[in-house]
Structure 1
Amino acid sequence: MVAVNKPEKKVVKQEKKPAAKPDKAKAAKKDVSKAAKKVDVKGKKGDKIKRAAGAKVTKGKKGAKKGKSNKTKEIVKRHRRNPILSASTELRRYSKTRVYKRRCIYKLKEKPPTPKPVKIKSPKFLTKTIGGEKNGETRKVRVCRLPRHLPTQVAKRKLQNTKKPFSQHKRRLRASIRPGTVLILVAGRHRGKRVVFLKQLGTGLLLVTGPFALNGCPLRRVNQIYTIATKTRLKIKPVKIPSRINDDYFRRKSLKNLKHREGELFDTAKEEYTLSNERKEDQLAVDKQILKVIKASKEKKSLKGYLETMFALKNKMYPHKMLF
């Protein structure tokens, strides 16, 4: 037999690779999934466990079906309580006070009730010492004694009124109205006419005249509310107004019919109001003096025409933009 030498097998030692370092993030995810499976709870408890492990928690829309991807979110405009009407001026729909009520801020600002000061009641009775052996030593006496006699009928009491009567009111006059200024009447029978202001009476009314010869306006009382003061003014210092012209001068006397006499049962004719001779005389006296003042002025023609013409407005004429 021939011996055959077998070739020796070479043993190659394989170098061991260094062990890979464990990934902390992957390990954390595995631990979280295991913990979630053990608890098997959905919602907040599961989220708490994930957060404790350091993993992210994704929230989906309520009512979203599983397996379907969420669509892009639509941008919803915020509903404002006080919307802006114009962006340039930042004008809002509601005012500050309206928003204050809508938001109920007044409920938050309610202050605690302040304690009321305790009033110390004064005693109704006083104890007085009385001398003597068998008098009881002390007695109770009223601080305010009761009336001895009570009235059988309650008399009417007058109520206290702090308001002053009309006779004691202060009479004010506009700075633009002076004696001699030409006024334009706005209301009344002679509205639209230009008159001359003479003086202010006791009741605060203005005494004016046309004169009657120019525009037919007699001596009258006018409230200054219903007049427009102009810049034209007459010099009426020499004009003398009769002293009897006052508020009583213009009051109409009530015409009371006497009782029916024999033969006058069916007479129902009413007496009409007629001007007295005094009124006519005073009108002539005042008008003569004012006409003299107009004639003496340099612009006598324009003044006469100004007083004769009526005041009127046409299209695109605004009285608040006009100078009188």
Structure 2
Amino acid sequence: MAPTKEKAPTKAKAAAAPKGDKKAKRTTRLKNPLLADGVRRYAKGKLVQRKKLYSLKHLKNVRVEKPKVAITVVKKIGGAKNGGERKVLLKKSKSYLPTKPLIRKRTGKRCFRNHKRNTRKTLKSGKVLILLAGRHKGKRVVLLKTLKSGLLLISGPFALNSCPLRRISQNYVIATKTRLNLKSVKVPKHINDGYFRRAAKKKNTRTERDIFAEKAEKYVPSEQRKADQKTIDEALLKAINAHPEAKIVRRYLKSMFSLRTNQYPHRMQF
């Protein structure tokens, strides 16, 4: 057998400090049992936290007395049968607060008619548009301007394709690359959103009437509307004639837009 190594002499244990000595160091260790190979019950940070709490264990918590604050106030009340005095809370709970001043009145700025309108960049005055909806769908018209409501003011002109002054949403329009110079064309100020409103006829509900006897009234343009159409058409025709390809533009405005087989609008350039 191989000679066994002699064990090194163990260090002498530190002499236990006397019980009366308060400055003696604490040598207690917190238990951190082994749950599995290399896995302890408490993490390193958690163990440090526990040590700090253990070091404060022998200290006594000194409570600081706060000065008492009055919650109620005694108020004098008049009247013979009211007791003369009454305790009232200084800070009332939320249920006692008034609700009326907290209600805010909504201003008229939030109305839909006052919202900001955004139009596409391609929709500029003088552009030739293709209508996709309405009575005049398929026609090519000229864009005059964008109204305050966000609708587009268009015209045929009426002399070329029988499309009068109308309003249309930008959702039902295709903008082409053809554009006219409308610097000489001045749209009157009175042609706005209110210009196209029709006066609603008042119904007399008090008198008896026959439903079948009444006929639906057809819309007839006023003399003012006809005069405005003539003046704008004259200015538009002058702008078309001033175009370098005036004959082609006139034919283009007269023709109708349609799709044939194997023609897809998302692949076409207008």
| Mapped pair 1:142 → 2:104 | no
> 1:220-257: per-residue Cα shift (whole Å, max 9, x none)?
00100110000000000110111100001001111225
Read off the aligned partner of 2:200 and give its amino acid letter.
S
Matched position secondary structure for 2:143: strand
Residue of structure 2 equivalent to 1:31: none
CA contact (8 A) 1:185 1:191 kept: yes
Aligned mates of 1:178, 1:126 — CA distance in 2:
70
Pairwise mapping of residues 25-174 of structure 1 onto structure 2 (< 5 A)?
Answer: 126=71, 141-145=88-92, 164-174=110-120
Matched position secondary structure for 1:280: helix
CA contact (8 A) 1:178 1:197 kept: yes
Matched position secondary structure for 1:268: coil
Residue of structure 2 equivalent to 1:179: 125
Residue of structure 2 equivalent to 1:287: 233
Query: Does 1 or 2 have the higher relative contact order (CA < 8 Å, sep 6+)?
Result: 2
Please report the TM-score for the alignment, with normalisation by the length of structure 1: 0.51
Read off the aligned partner of 2:71 and give its amino acid letter.
L
Q: How many residues align?
A: 187
CA shift for structure 1 position 158: 6.4
The CA RMSD measured in Å over matched residues stands at 3.6
Residue of structure 2 equivalent to 1:274: 220
Residue of structure 1 equivalent to 2:252: 306
Larger radius of gyration: 1
Residue of structure 2 equivalent to 1:241: 187
Aligned mates of 1:158, 1:193 — CA distance in 2:
52
Matched position secondary structure for 2:130: strand
Q: 1:270–1:312: structure 2 CA closer, same or farther, 3 Å change rule?
A: closer
Aligned mates of 1:321, 1:305 — CA distance in 2:
24
Aligned mates of 1:158, 1:213 — CA distance in 2:
58
Residue of structure 2 equivalent to 1:219: 165
Please report the TM-score for the alignment, with normalisation by the length of structure 2: 0.60
CA contact (8 A) 1:125 1:142 kept: no
Q: 1:260–1:165: structure 2 CA closer, same or farther, 3 Å change rule?
A: closer
Residue of structure 2 equivalent to 1:134: none
Aligned mates of 1:160, 1:320 — CA distance in 2:
47
Aligned mates of 2:103, 2:72 — CA distance in 1:
39
> 1:69-98: per-residue Cα shift (whole Å, max 9, x none)?
xxxxxxxxxxxxxxxxxxxxxxxxxxxxxx
Matched position secondary structure for 2:110: coil
Q: Where does structure 1 differ by over 4 angstroms across 4 or more consecutive aligned residues?
A: 157-163, 257-261, 264-267
CA contact (8 A) 1:185 1:193 kept: yes
Aligned mates of 2:125, 2:110 — CA distance in 1:
29
Aligned mates of 1:186, 1:269 — CA distance in 2:
31
Q: Of residues 215, 232, 238 in structure 1, which corresponds to 2:178?
A: 232
CA contact (8 A) 2:136 2:163 kept: yes
CA shift for structure 1 position 166: 1.1
Matched position secondary structure for 1:175: coil
CA shift for structure 1 position 312: 0.5
Q: 1:170–1:302: structure 2 CA closer, same or farther, 3 Å change rule?
A: same
Q: 1:216–1:144: structure 2 CA closer, same or farther, 3 Å change rule?
A: same
Q: 1:144–1:181: structure 2 CA closer, same or farther, 3 Å change rule?
A: same
CA contact (8 A) 1:199 1:207 kept: yes
Counting aligned pairs with the same residue, the percent is 49
CA shift for structure 1 position 168: 2.4
> 1:177-206: per-residue Cα shift (whole Å, max 9, x none)?
111000001111111110000001110000
Read off the aligned partner of 1:284 and give its amino acid letter.
K
> 1:257-300: per-residue Cα shift (whole Å, max 9, x none)?
56899xx9676355433211110000010000000111122211
